[in-house]
Amino acid sequence: MTDPAEKPKRRPRYRGTHPRQFAEKYKEHDPARFADDVAKVVASGKTPAGTHRPIMVREIMQVLAPQPGEFAVDCTLGYGGHARELLAAVQPGGRLLAVDADPIELPKTEARLRTLGFPSESLIVRRSNFAGVAQLIAAESPEGADLLLADLGLSSMQIDDPARGFTFKADGPLDMRMNPARGESAAALLARLDRTELATLLEENADEPRAAQIATAIAFAQSREPLTTTQGLAGVVQALISRLPQRTDEHADDAVRRVFQALRIAVNDEFGALDMLLRHLPFCLKPGGRAAILTFHSGEDRRVKLAFKQGLRDGLYSSIADDVVRASPAEQRANPRSSSAKLRYAIRSSDEHDAQASG
């Protein structure tokens, strides 16, 4: 019996006729109840709040070619779109090891996947970043994986939630940690970097052409008052860019996005974790095992490209992608976040090939 003293929950209030803030979009956060409303958002080319639209699903499934009974690995579970397709494809008898570093989204996604009717033992969920993937695979399948996917992009529910600090569209704490309970926030990182260190970080992590000028502006702002919010940092960069000559091929906020990208990569040591995954990747796969990696900016893609080429030269891979695979024009129109995605793949060589290569 309901406690009469317990007041029913009310939907979030918002100004105007349509919700604008992330937390106000209660229908989008509950697609099971409001499927029609969510469908309208998707049809408009947007991603519903609190959800994520998986990118290049058809192309990834073609590259990985999952078969019933195989052991698959999804290194970046996210909202579970790719995982759902992989899990279905390896049935009956197959298993999926799903990994993610985000302690906030991971349990939500696992709960959704558990409701789909797959055998409970077919889904193994672990919290870790790329650096721990090799150990997790060895614990579940010592002979390695048949196929592995790593989608390096942030999930939309992380990007769009102001409380996580990844977006400057709405104000929030300057955090950017995948795991908010570990490591230093972006605000703490900015507070300890000097101008030269920050410029180097912007160049290395985001190929920022105005790194020195932006670093100087941020350092000056920090000397007056610590930057602790997303819009506070964005405002400093926007004010500087507005005073500089504009490139015709650049949007006004492109520099802000690169600054946020560079800080996020540093805060989460994304390049270090990716390098660790790429170093161990050939030995995580069975002979003939397939790996697909989806990247979203040049720093990631360069690392994947070089690692795959080196693995091919060393005889660890029998085949790699000749060039990147991109989302179709139709997908890019329907989901603009897919436009920067680059897919590369590699196939593990056989043991015999390895022996010849090392001989």
Domain boundaries of the chain, sorted by first residue: 9-42, 57-156+287-358, 179-267
Q: For the chain, which ranges sit under pLDDT 50?
A: 24-28, 35, 38-39, 41-43, 45, 49-50, 352-353, 355-359
CA 279/CA 7 separation, integer angstroms: 55
CA 190/CA 304 separation, integer angstroms: 28
CA 137/CA 126 separation, integer angstroms: 11
Yes or no: say if 52 and 334 are a contact pair by the CB < 8 Å rule: no
User: Helix, strand, or coil here: 71?
Assistant: strand
pLDDT at 8: 56
Yes or no: say if 189 and 174 are a contact pair by the CB < 8 Å rule: no
pLDDT at 51: 56
CA 67/CA 80 separation, integer angstroms: 19
pLDDT at 245: 85
Yes or no: say if 208 and 264 are a contact pair by the CB < 8 Å rule: no
CATH class of 179-267: mainly alpha
Complete DSSP assignment for 293-333: EEE-SHHHHHHHHHHHHHHHHTTSEEEE-SS-B---HHHHH
Contacts of 102 (CB under 8 A, 6+ apart): 127, 155, 158, 178, 179
pLDDT at 159: 80
**Measuring CA to CA, how many Å separate 211 from each of 145, 195, 198?**
41, 10, 8
Contacts of 107 (CB under 8 A, 6+ apart): none
pTM, full prediction: 0.81
What architecture is the 57-156+287-358 domain classified under in CATH? 3-Layer(aba) Sandwich (3.40)
pLDDT at 335: 86
pLDDT at 241: 93
Yes or no: say if 250 and 312 are a contact pair by the CB < 8 Å rule: no
CA 222/CA 177 separation, integer angstroms: 20
pLDDT at 27: 46
